[in-house]
């Protein structure tokens, strides 16, 4: 036994945690090779013929076709799937004006997100130019190379000018993610937050803290989805943006001037239904939260420290609906929820720009997905978190694989409807299948199996562990896809309760059948049949009764034996041997060609 007393410093301090995170981040970026991105060839290069096709003389053929029709560049080059992530490094995250070279890790990181979440290729371009007019010239000259431009971390108000000028001049989408990506995610979360609060966006009073690029873009988009201009009050470092104010004003901010006597956030926040913070940590005080309307929606999005923490806000009231920009609180507003998929839809439809309609389509797609039931994959990625629509779940999680299949088609369709799609999606169902094959590695392999299951005349399948979350989520998909009709084995009340808890839409009798393990009219017939099958192996009447009540796999096997289902699925817990023991007792005498274990 040690004679030393455990140190009170055994728990890492916040400083220790930050130091460890910094060390891990540096190692992540350095090893096994420096940086986070590389270029991979999409064509083989193994012999002289490949060389002659990839370069001279064969490469001349696609060049000549592009001369005939510039649109052929999307057919013969990677331009249609290539995005430029461009910055001048003047407003990088919370680091400020660190310059283009130091911003490169951030731009590479953006490229990783594009590729990981939407399969979009990226060149990161860091430009050493602070003059907005010159920056526009440099970026505009890059148009022949790319299918779209993602502007990143350019300071306000320069970012407004740069984006406006580029959109005038370029015939490919130009998207400033700090503005529009944030705005789309905020708008989706806001619509859902107000839905939870039981309020109409047209009637709410909204107060903002911050009037930078992101904040103004959020307001502009919120107006397009129903917020009333007269109900918007903006505050910044100089206080309320009121009529006649001259300090720290510009044209973009002037459109939100209000005829009010309020001069501070503390004054204007009274009676507000919504607080939208994109400013600095700690600016919203608990006393201000106390003055807001009932069921206030508070978006404290400053990073790393929000305008107010959920803990501080709840010291004065417990009816708040809250979102932050942090991963350690519910409802993280994260741009990655939208930008990869907006570009995916824009590129695939050949959009020449990003229209308001495309942004609004993305807003509604994200909002609707949060209200849908969760997939097993999402539940597995966020074990322990509440993932059903409500105050703590207003927007989807970044690793929800359905984001691309929901947002990209919506954006592509909006591009066509707004007249900017040069290559409209002709078959939207086929397009969704293509996206699904990217999201789910097994999608292409499993599709013929799913199609065959849908055509099968016998579709009744027993799910032995019918109360399990994974089983219920799988059953929802099976019902939605028309693959089979589930028979869930378990307690009906528990099954119904968990269906509601997980936000699923299954209805007993309409969508599925139940075998009640506590009381079912088939129980006597089942245990008697089981006893006849096994009495020579030592199974007594009493044991048969007990086993048929508690062994879920045994019940499923008996359903199959009696012809009440056409298949069964079991084994979400325990070992294969345990389940096979009961299956063999009941259906073990079937001919080998009638048994298809998986």
> Active-site residue 110, yes or no?
yes
Residue with tokens 């002037």: 254
Q: 157, exposed or middle or buried, with CB in 10 Å at 0-12, 13-18, 19+? A: middle
At 232 the three-state DSSP class reads strand
Distance of alpha carbon 410 from alpha carbon 131, whole angstroms? 36
Give 117-177 as a DSSP string.
Answer: HH--EEEEEE-----HHHHHHHHHTTGGG-SEEEE-S--TTHHHHHHHHHHHH-SS-EEEH
Q: Read off the DSSP letter of residue 332.
A: B
Q: Are 258 and 231 in contact (CB under 8 A)?
A: no
Distance of alpha carbon 563 from alpha carbon 57, whole angstroms? 68
Q: Are 44 and 50 in contact (CB under 8 A)?
A: yes
Q: Are 166 and 353 in contact (CB under 8 A)?
A: no
Cβ contacts of 197 within 8 Å, gap of 6 or more: 273, 295, 296, 297, 321
User: Taking the CB of residue 59, how many other CB atoms lie within 10 A of it?
Assistant: 13
* C-alpha R_g of the chain: 29
Tokens representing residue 101 in the block: 């070279």
Distance of alpha carbon 228 from alpha carbon 393, whole angstroms? 25
Distance of alpha carbon 216 from alpha carbon 553, whole angstroms? 59
Residue with tokens 């059903």: 388
Tokens representing residue 198 in the block: 């039981």
Distance of alpha carbon 188 from alpha carbon 406, whole angstroms? 13
Catalytic residue among 28, 36, 55, 256: 55
Distance of alpha carbon 565 from alpha carbon 515, whole angstroms? 11
Pairing outcome for strands 174-176 and 297-300: unpaired
Catalytic residue among 36, 104, 110, 507: 110
Q: Which residues are catalytic?
A: 55, 110
């Amino acid at each position: 036994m040690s004679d030393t007393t455990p140190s009170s410093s055994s728990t890492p301090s916040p400083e220790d945690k930050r130091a460890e995170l910094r060390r891990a981040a540096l190692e992540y970026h350095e090893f096994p090779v420096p940086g986070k991105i590389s270029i991979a060839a999409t064509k083989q290069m193994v012999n002289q013929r490949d060389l002659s096709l990839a370069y001279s003389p064969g490469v001349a053929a696609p060049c000549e076709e592009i001369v005939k029709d510039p649109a052929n560049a999307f057919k013969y080059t990677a331009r249609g799937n290539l995005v430029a992530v461009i910055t001048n490094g003047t407003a990088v995250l919370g680091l400020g004006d660190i310059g283009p070279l130091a911003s490169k890790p951030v731009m590479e990181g953006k490229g990783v997100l594009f590729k990981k979440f939407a399969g979009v290729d990226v060149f990161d371009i860091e430009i050493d130019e602070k003059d907005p007019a010159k920056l526009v010239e440099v970026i505009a000259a890059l148009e022949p190379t790319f299918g779209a431009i993602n502007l990143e971390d350019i300071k306000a108000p320069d970012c407004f000018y740069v984006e406006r000028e580029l959109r005038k001049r370029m015939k490919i989408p130009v998207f400033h993610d700090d503005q529009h990506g944030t705005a789309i995610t905020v708008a989706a979360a806001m619509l859902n937050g107000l839905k939870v609060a039981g309020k109409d966006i047209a009637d709410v009073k909204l107060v903002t803290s911050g009037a930078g690029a992101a904040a103004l873009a959020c307001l502009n988009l919120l107006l397009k989805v129903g917020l009333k201009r007269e109900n918007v009050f903006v505050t910044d470092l100089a206080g309320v943006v009121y009529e006649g104010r001259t300090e720290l004003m510009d044209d973009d901010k002037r459109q939100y001037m209000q005829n009010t006597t309020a001069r501070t956030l503390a004054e204007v926040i009274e009676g507000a239904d919504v607080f939208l913070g994109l400013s600095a940590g700690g600016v919203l005080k608990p006393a201000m939260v106390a003055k807001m309307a009932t069921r206030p929606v508070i978006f404290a999005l400053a990073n790393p420290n929000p305008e107010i923490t959920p803990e501080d806000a709840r010291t004065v009231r417990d009816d708040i609906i809250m979102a932050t920009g942090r991963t350690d609180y519910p409802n993280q507003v994260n741009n990655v929820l939208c930008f990869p998929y907006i570009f995916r839809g824009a590129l695939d439809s050949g959009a020449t720009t990003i229209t308001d309609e495309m942004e609004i389509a993305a807003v509604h797609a994200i909002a609707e997905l949060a209200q849908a039931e969760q997939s097993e994959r999402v539940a597995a990625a966020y074990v322990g978190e509440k993932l059903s629509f409500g105050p703590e779940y207003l927007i989807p999680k970044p690793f929800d694989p359905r984001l691309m299949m929901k947002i990209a088609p919506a954006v592509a369709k909006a591009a066509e409807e707004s007249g900017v799609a040069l290559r409209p999606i002709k078959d939207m169902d086929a397009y969704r299948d293509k996206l699904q094959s990217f999201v789910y590695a097994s999608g292409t392999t499993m599709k013929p199996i799913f199609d065959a299951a849908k055509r099968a005349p016998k579709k009744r399948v027993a799910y032995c562990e019918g109360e399990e979350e994974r089983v219920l989520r799988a059953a929802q998909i099976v019902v939605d896809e028309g693959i089979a009709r589930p028979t869930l084995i378990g307690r009906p009340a528990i099954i119904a309760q968990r269906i509601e808890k997980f936000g699923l839409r299954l209805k007993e009798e309409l969508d599925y059948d139940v075998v009640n393990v506590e009381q079912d009219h088939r129980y006597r017939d089942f245990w008697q049949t089981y006893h006849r099958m096994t009495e020579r192996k030592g199974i007594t009447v009493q044991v048969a009764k007990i086993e048929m009540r508690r062994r879920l796999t045994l019940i499923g096997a008996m359903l199959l034996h009696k012809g009440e289902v056409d298949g069964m699925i079991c084994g979400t817990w325990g070992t294969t041997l345990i389940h096979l023991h009961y299956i063999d007792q009941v259906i073990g005498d079937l001919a080998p060609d009638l048994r298809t274990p998986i």
